[in-house]
Amino acid sequence: MAEIAIRAVRKTYGKSEVVHGIDLDVTSGELVVILGPSGCGKSTLLRMVAGLETISDGEISIEGKVVNKLEPRERGCAMVFQNYALYPHMTVADNIGYALKIAGISKAERRERVQAVATSLGLAEFLDRKPGQLSGGQRQRVAMGRAMIREPKVFLYDEPLSNLDARLRVAMRVEIRKLHQRLGATTLFVTHDQIEAMTLADRIVVMNKGGIEQVGSPAEIYQRPATTYVAGFIGTPGLNLLPGIIDPEKGTVTLEDGQAVAYDRSRWPAAAPGPITIGFRAEAVELGSGGLSGQYDFSEELGAAQLVHGTVAKSSVIAHVVGSSVRKAGEPLSFRIAPEHVQLFDQSGRRLSGEKRPTVSLDAASDIVQERPVLLPA
């Protein structure tokens, strides 16, 4: 096992900087997911750790040793790619054992180690097949086996599940988590899928436009997003966000149409009068009279629940509602949000400073983080 330290790492292509001074520590045995949209620099960062991209500035160390100038094979990392990168003319056994063959390991020992890895991944019966004869999930397991057999210090996954269908993605998430628990290897996992991140990670690194927006546990990032960007990106759906004017004396935020939303003043004692953005999760919204007035737009059926979409003060609001009901577009709809569920962000999009910890613990919130994606399409 090995810790990874990333210090002020930058990457430029010509005059364009795509990674802007990243600082990150990954402890030995930790599974860290780097999450962000396409083009945010997450795969570039991973490839710099692997040695597949040169570092324009900064320093990366693995197990206390600076690796900036080391070749990929000297870093003790094994990488699993999105496209599997298997040799099509080789059998599964030859693909898994290829690194041992290059290293000069005897044929008998190779066979024994390949068999052990294949058995652990459920591939023992496919060792004589070639990649073209396997399903997507089986090919991905072969790629994982090829990485495992090297017994690396660090596992690096570059969007390994993107080419799989929804059912296989769920199955492979389970396999990857079991593999990590069994081997305990330090792992960096890159994805654009927030459900993958929430279900796999010990910690999540949310990236945006080449920088880090927030680092934290899945429950922490879900319950206390540091920015409106993270708030909208994490969760299915993301946080409801509405602009307004805050009045700390009354403990309310007035929306654009004059309606007011109460917030917990004890949680936000440093709030000052002025423009602000409020946020709240879909599961914190209750439908019924006595709340904000708006109109119904449409619903998404989730089987055991619905995502009810409506409009309030010219902004979209989504409610996660257990059960189902029939409505027509344009019908009046009322939303209630308890003050303790309202979160506040300043005009720059940062979480309002001076917040006191919410009464709901992050342990309790983790139930929401783990269970909600089961209700939603992957």
**Contact present, 124 and 79 (Cβ < 8 Å):** no
DSSP-assigned beta bridge partners for residue 306: 301, 321
Specify the amino acid at residue 197. Answer: A
**In terms of domains, do 309 and 168 share one?**
no
For the chain, the C-alpha Rg in angstroms (whole number) is 24
- pLDDT tens, residue by residue, 277-288: 999 999 999 988
This prediction has a pTM of 0.86
Q: Is 62's pLDDT higher than 60?
A: yes
Same domain for 204 and 250, yes or no, is: no
Residue 53 shares a structural domain with residue 185: yes
Kindly state the helix (H) or strand (E) to which residue 368 belongs, with its residue range: helix 362-375
Q: 323 is written with which tokens?
A: 């059960």
**Quick one: which of 154, 143, 141, 161 has its CA closest to 48?**
154
Quote the number of domains for the chain: 2
Cβ neighbours around 135 below 10 Å, total = 12
User: Cis link prior to 225 (omega < 30° from 0)?
Assistant: no
Under the banding of pLDDT at 50, 70 and 90, the label for residue 166 is confident
Backbone angles phi, psi at 237, to 5 degrees: -85, 175
- Residue that terminates a domain, selected from 193, 223, 253: 223
Split at pLDDT 50, 70, 90, the class of 1 is low
CA distances from 86 to 98, 140, 163, 318 (A): 10, 9, 14, 43
Q: Does residue 104 sit in the same domain as residue 198?
A: yes
Tokens at 343, concatenated: 């979160």
CA distance 66 to 55: 12
Residue 228 lies in a domain: no
Q: How far apart are CA 222 and CA 142, in angstroms?
A: 33
Kindly report, residue by residue over 114-158, the tens digit of the pLDDT.
Answer: 998 888 888 999 999 999 999 888 888 898 888 888 878 899 999
What is the domain-level CATH number for residue 243? Answer: 2.40.50.140
Q: Assess whether 214 and 251 both reside in one domain.
A: no
**Is there a single domain that holds both residue 215 and residue 244?**
no
- 241 and 215 fall within a common domain: no
Q: Which two tokens stand for residue 144?
A: 């994982």
Give the burial class of 294: count Cβ atoms within 10 A of its Cβ; 0-12 exposed, 13-18 middle, 19 or more buried: buried
The verdict on 255 and 330 lying in the same domain is yes
Judge whether 212 and 195 are in contact, CB under 8 Å.
Answer: no
Q: Which domain holds residue 21?
A: 4-223
Name the token pair of 74: 């000297």
Residue 232 covered by a domain:
no
The pLDDT tens digits for 90-114 are 999 999 999 899 888 999 999 999 9
150 and 275, same domain (yes or no): no
Among 70, 72, 9, CA closest to 41: 9
